[in-house]
Amino acid sequence: MVHARKTQKTMIRLENIYKRYRKHAAVSDLSLNVKSGEIYGFLGPNGAGKTTTIRMIAGALAPSSGKIFLGGHNLAQKPRQAKSILGYIPDRPFLYEKLSGQEFLIFTADLYRVPKEQANKRSQELLELFELFDWRDELIENYSHGMKQRLIMSGALLPRPRILVVDEPMVGLDPRGAKLVMDIFRSLSRNDGVAIFISTHTMSLASRLCDRIGIIQNGCLISEGTEQELRQRAGAGSADLEDLFLELTASEEIGAPR
């Protein structure tokens, strides 16, 4: 566990979520909670249902049944209120590459109706935070993949969301960029009380960063808790998270759509 969690408001709540494609269930009876100031790691092999779950939380995909609450708002009934407190960082970010980094952030601010003066100040802060300030006037098409990833994170954080949902945050980042992003996520959770939900294949990231971990397999949540709690339930002694993950998922069939 990275830091002691305060007893705070539940910011993400999934209740008995199903997502079906014809006869196949990509996600089955999924229920979980993430509190403010908590970093929740969502692990699973390819085809387990991670990205399907992420897209449902972000409102990009509707569940077949079940309820999703963000900050107490029912996502199906009050989508605008729910999404207004959400920042979403997809695994394959889309950017308007003919804009500069600064222009992209101002465009994002307009979408969230952030007042112009606040948008200018906030965009400068984020460009500096993500070490992109010197590139602010360059077209995004000239950015490296890692720089694009950091820019999309900047955009997600611009409206100061209370919930951050992230799909594979370290894809394309070099070690320096990865450490920078981890430090930013820690600060958001500890200092700002942001609830962070991270789907990742990077076991070292989950082990070092996450307060709790949920493991999904074939659309079902098969285990959940702190790393130590998962280890105790599996009778895995001092096994590291990668070995623990392999042991917990070894007996399950792999191959469902991601």
Q: In what order do the strands lie in the sheet with 24-35?
A: 24-35, 10-21, 65-70, 73-74
Name the DSSP letter for residue 174.
Answer: -
Mean local confidence (pLDDT), 61-78: 97
Name the DSSP letter for residue 77.
Answer: T
Q: Which of 79-83, 104-108, 230-234 has the lowest mean pLDDT?
A: 230-234
Q: What is the pLDDT of residues 25-45, one digit of tens each?
A: 999 999 999 999 999 999 998
Q: How many CA atoms lie within 13 A of 119 on its CB side?
A: 16
The confidence score (pLDDT) of residue 253 equals: 45
Residue of 206, 205, 167, 165 whose CA lies nearest to 188? 165
The confidence score (pLDDT) of residue 7 equals: 58
Amino acid at 161: P
As a whole number of angstroms, the distance between CA 45 and CA 43 comes to: 7
The pTM score is: 0.90
As a whole number of angstroms, the distance between CA 151 and CA 241 comes to: 30
Domains of the chain as residue ranges with CATH: 8-85+163-258 (3.40.50.300), 94-160 (no CATH)
Q: How many CA atoms lie within 13 A of 56 on its CB side?
A: 29
Q: Which residues contact 214 (CB under 8 A, 6 or more apart)?
A: 32, 40, 41, 42, 43, 221, 223, 224
As a whole number of angstroms, the distance between CA 197 and CA 42 comes to: 7
Residue 92 has pLDDT above 80, yes or no: no
Phi, psi angles (nearest 5°) of residue 22: 55, -120
Q: What is the pLDDT of residues 115-160, one digit of tens each?
A: 988 999 999 999 999 999 999 999 999 999 889 999 999 999 999 9
Helix axes 145-157 and 101-111, enclosed angle (nearest 10): 30
